[in-house]
Structures are given as structure tokens and as C-alpha cells.
Amino acid sequence: MGEVVCKFGGTSLADAGQLQKVARIIDQNAQRRFIVPSAPGKRTSDDTKVTDLLYLCHEMARQKMDFREPFENIRTRYGNLVQELGVDMKIGDLLDEVQERISLGASQDYVASRGEFLCGKLLSALLEATFVDPVEAIRFRSDGRLDPVSYTLLEERLSGPGQFVIPGFYGATPDGEIKTFSRGGSDITGAIVARAVRAAVYENWTDVSGMLMADPRMVPNAMPVEEITYREMRELAYMGAAVFHDEAMFPAMEADIPIHIKNTNRPEDPGTRIVPRRDLNDKQWIVGVAGRPDFTMVYIEKALMNQERGFGRKVLEIVESHGISYEHTPSGIDTMSVIISDEELDGKGDLLLEDMKRILEPDRVELYPGLALTATVGEGMSHRIGVAAQVFSALAEAGVNVRVIDQGASEINIIVGVEEADLQPALQAIYQAFVP
């Protein structure tokens, strides 16, 4: 087996006991050489993440308020970790510097990044590994996107024997200023490091044993997913079944590196492997079902719509002119609908209807709120007869009315829109149709 990049999430680093588990996991496999930590997360459900405390300190300093109290909380957390783990390092000096820079008006990204920076320092001391500051290797371009030179810089910085710790969540702008990824972004750092060192696998250690075939709040006892392709994962994540950051899949995917989601608290569990391709046999048509409420359908009817050139473009231009992005556009001969999430619609539905009436001169245009979308996902359904039939018979038997259907040509996802009240029965019925 080749080299392994391990990213550990906040709950895996929340206290000394968790850090000891992390050290044991790393020790168990000599190939685990590249370690990407988040900042310490919540120890209990009502605890506060270090990153959130840092954002609070920054905001208080910005408003010229006294931020000592939240900062003392951070100081105590790191102080306890160093003491309980018996690590030889001057954490007090590092914390003093951060506190000083916050009072001098340091940027929000700098302040937020210190959670990962300090955790990385601590972990490298604990493991006696080389510390690499991402400021030296992860570069953003001026448009905010990752500069591909980062891969070369990382490869250089991460060469040589032994283990390396590189904190997650941040890098630097072309002027050397610290810049963070979006929240949860240590997952992205892990994937970038994996691509840079051409890892055999990117292990993403968290507090769940991977993905389940359905949300357990909707489908109790849903089975775990052991293997899923990147494409399947993307479709399910889009419907809210995310186990890690949206953008983190791309660097790994570009280099065909499998991602393995593992549980720090139950390392013996198989977890979920996200892979370029999987062996499709009859039992694995479907990898999961997911669903989300809070969509609205804009329904447009106009006689001979099919003969009117540019009709679809005009509809979408109206949607775009309101700054709205849409999800799906199922259409019939004289009908077209646009499905929009309520968050995107943001109360602009009536304005949208007015414009549609004026510009499109339709026979009918209406808004149907209260729509939920379900996604039945699996590469195994491609070119296989009967999968859609199974979905629709299951829904019919459960007494669920299908409002709208959409299946992309990729044939890996059947999207069915139902009334919000029918979301749970729909997901249960579809799940049971595929998992007896």
C-alpha cells in the first residue's frame, strides 16, 4: 500500500483523550505520514468549537470590546491539552502572539486560522513530526481560487522521511496574507495534500462510521455504505447527505485518489470508501436515497410552447434576472416548470410570476410551494431496465403522489418531487424497495 494522508476533524481533536486516539491510529500504520488536523471541536453537544471562539474574539476586537474572556477559554483549552498530553512546547508564547495580533486588528482569516495552526503545532510536537505551515505551500490566486502551484510547493515541502503535520483550513494570498477556505475547509486541505503527494488513499477521520444509505432520522436502521463512487457521492451530497466538505472531493477525484471516511472513535468499523469506480453487481444498483424539503415549483403552461423558439431561454433569463439559481426544469409539450429552492427564491416568487406573465404571455403560470425532492442514486441503474419502475411502484404502494420527475441523461439519479408531508414515507418506501 502507498502513502496515506489522514485528516482529523474537530471532534477527533477535542480533548487529550481524543488526541491520544489520533496518535494511536497514526502509529498503527507507518504509511500514515501526512497528517492534516482541524481545530479542536466540541467536547460535548453544548460546547463551543475553538474556531467559533476565534471568530468571536475577532468580532469583539473589531467592535473595540474586551475579548479576554473568550480568549481565556481558548488558552485554557490548549493549555490543558499540552499539560494532559505531557507535550514539551511553549504554547503560552504562541497564544500571547495570537492575542496581541487580535488586539492589533489582525484579519478575520488570520484569527480563524490560528485554531488549526496551534493544533498542528501541538500535534507535531506530540508525534515528533515535521510541522509545515500551509502559508508556505497553499496559495490562492487573486480570484480566490487555489493556485495549482500549491501542488508543486506542497510536494517539495512534504518530501523527505518521517511524518508531516500540515494544518487544515488555510493558505496564503499572492501577497502572503493568510486566507481560509470556507467553513469545514480542512477537508479541502486534506484532499489537496493527498493530490500533491499522490497518496494511495485520503483518510478522512471523523465521528461517524461513514455514510448510511439514507438519513437515519428518515429511515431508521439504514444500512451503511461501504463503497460509493465520486459521482454517486456528489449526487447524494447535493441532496444533503454530506459527510464532508462539498469541494473536498475534487482534488482527490482529479487524481483518482480514493477517499476513506473513518470513525476515530470506532477505527475498527469499515467506514465508507469513495472511489473512482465500483464493481456493479445486481445487489448494488442503488447506493442511497436522500431528500430535502423546501422547494417551490414554478409551473408554466402555454399552448404550442413547443413551437416557440427561445421560450426556455426566456424563462431562464427571467429567473436569472432575479439573481436566482434553479435546480431542475422538467418540461412537457405545452408546459415547463422550474424548481427552485426556497432559500434561493427568498420571497421573490410574486415578482417572478409578474415578469413571467408580462414577458412570456402564458396561458397559466403558478407557484407551487411545499415541494420536497427525493434522489435515488446509483451507477448500477444505468442501462438497467426496471429501476425507475421499482421506485414508482414503491411510491404508489405507499400512497405517495408523485408531483414531478426528473432523470438526467447520466442515469445515475432519479429525482422525484413529492409533497413535503410525503417526504419521509417516500424515502422509506424507496429504501425498502431496494434494501429488503
Q: How far is the CB of 6 from ligand ASP (least distance, A)?
A: 14
Q: How far is the CB of 235 from ligand ASP (least distance, A)?
A: 23
Q: 236: buried, middle or exposed (CB in 10 Å: 19+, 13-18, 0-12)?
A: buried
Q: 3: buried, middle or exposed (CB in 10 Å: 19+, 13-18, 0-12)?
A: middle
When binding is defined by CB under 6 A, the residue of 4, 5, 8, 10 that contacts ligand ASP is 10
Q: Should residue 53 be labelled a site residue for ligand ASP when binding is judged by CB under 6 A?
A: no
Q: Return the percent helix, strand and coil in the chain, to nearest 5.
A: 40, 20, 35
When binding is defined by CB under 6 A, the residue of 11, 51, 206, 209 that contacts ligand ASP is 51
Q: Should residue 202 be labelled a site residue for ligand ASP when binding is judged by CB under 6 A?
A: no
Q: Which is nearer to ligand ASP, 50 or 199 (CB)?
A: 50
Q: Should residue 38 be labelled a site residue for ligand ASP when binding is judged by CB under 6 A?
A: yes
Residue 432 cell numbers, joined: 425498502
Q: Should residue 186 be labelled a site residue for ligand ASP when binding is judged by CB under 6 A?
A: yes
* Segment interacting with ligand ASP (CB under 6 A) among 184-192, 293-301, 308-316, 350-358: 184-192
Q: How far is Cα 417 from Cα 376, in angstroms, rounded to an integer?
A: 11
Long-range contacts, 419-425 (Cβ 8 Å, 24+)? 419/370, 419/371, 419/372, 420/293, 420/294, 420/370, 420/371, 420/372, 422/372, 423/218, 423/291, 423/293, 423/372, 423/374, 424/218, 425/398, 425/399, 425/400
- Please report which helix (H) or strand (E) contains residue 172, including its range: strand 170-172
Q: Which is nearer to ligand ASP, 6 or 214 (CB)?
A: 6
Nearest 10 degrees: Cα torsion 36, 42, 43, 45: -140
- CA–CA distance from 266 to each of 23, 221, 243, 272 (Å)? 14, 18, 16, 13
When binding is defined by CB under 6 A, the residue of 141, 183, 198, 364 that contacts ligand ASP is 183
Q: How far is the CB of 299 from ligand ASP (least distance, A)?
A: 39
Please, which residues have CB within 8 angstroms of residue 126's CB and are 6 or more apart in sequence?
19, 23, 85, 87
Phi, psi values for residue 331, rounded to 5°: -140, 160
Q: How far is the CB of 19 from ligand ASP (least distance, A)?
A: 15
Q: Should residue 11 be labelled a site residue for ligand ASP when binding is judged by CB under 6 A?
A: no
* Segment interacting with ligand ASP (CB under 6 A) among 129-137, 148-156, 181-189, 377-385: 181-189
Type of residue numbered 105: G
Report the site for ligand ASP in 207-246 (rule: CB under 6 A).
none
Q: Which is nearer to ligand ASP, 188 or 318 (CB)?
A: 188
Q: Which is nearer to ligand ASP, 114 or 139 (CB)?
A: 114
Q: Should residue 190 be labelled a site residue for ligand ASP when binding is judged by CB under 6 A?
A: no
Q: How far is the CB of 376 from ligand ASP (least distance, A)?
A: 30
Q: Which is nearer to ligand ASP, 186 or 337 (CB)?
A: 186
Report the site for ligand ASP in 87-126 (rule: CB under 6 A).
115
Q: Which residues sit at the interface with ligand ASP, rule CB under 6 A?
A: 10, 38-39, 49, 51, 115, 168-169, 183-187
